[in-house]
């Protein structure tokens, strides 16, 4: 979340968007998942795990004021 805030600040926004979060997710999260030894053959990658999570996570709807 801190990286998403930094990106928003660099874009001169006073708030974080879901696009900001998705933009920084791969570089900040790809090293975090730990694969089970049976997945070390390369068919499943940590990058693929993060992409799957991002694609399956719905973006919250914002109600109009």
Instruction: Establish if 11 belongs to a structural domain.
Output: yes
pLDDT at 65 (0 to 100)? 58
- Inside any domain, residue 65: no
Q: In the numeric block, which tokens belong to residue 34?
A: 């730990």
User: Mean pLDDT per 10-residue run, the chain (65 residues)?
Assistant: 85 84 87 85 87 86 63
Token pair in block for residue 53: 């999570």
**pLDDT, position 3:** 84
pLDDT of residue 23: 85
In a domain, 6, yes or no: yes
Q: Is residue 12 part of a domain?
A: yes
Q: What is the DSSP letter of 43?
A: T
Identify the domain containing residue 40 by its residue range. Answer: 2-56
Does 42 fall in a domain? yes
CA distance linking residue 54 with residue 4, whole number of Å: 14
This prediction has a pTM of 0.67
Q: How many folded domains does the chain comprise?
A: 1
């Amino acid at each position: 979340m801190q990286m998403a805030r930094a990106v928003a600040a660099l874009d001169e926004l006073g708030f974080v968007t879901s696009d900001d979060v998705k933009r920084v997710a791969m570089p900040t999260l790809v090293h975090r998942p730990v694969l089970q030894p049976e997945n070390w053959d390369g068919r499943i990658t940590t990058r693929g795990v993060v992409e799957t999570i991002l694609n399956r996570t719905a973006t919250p709807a914002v109600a109009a004021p």
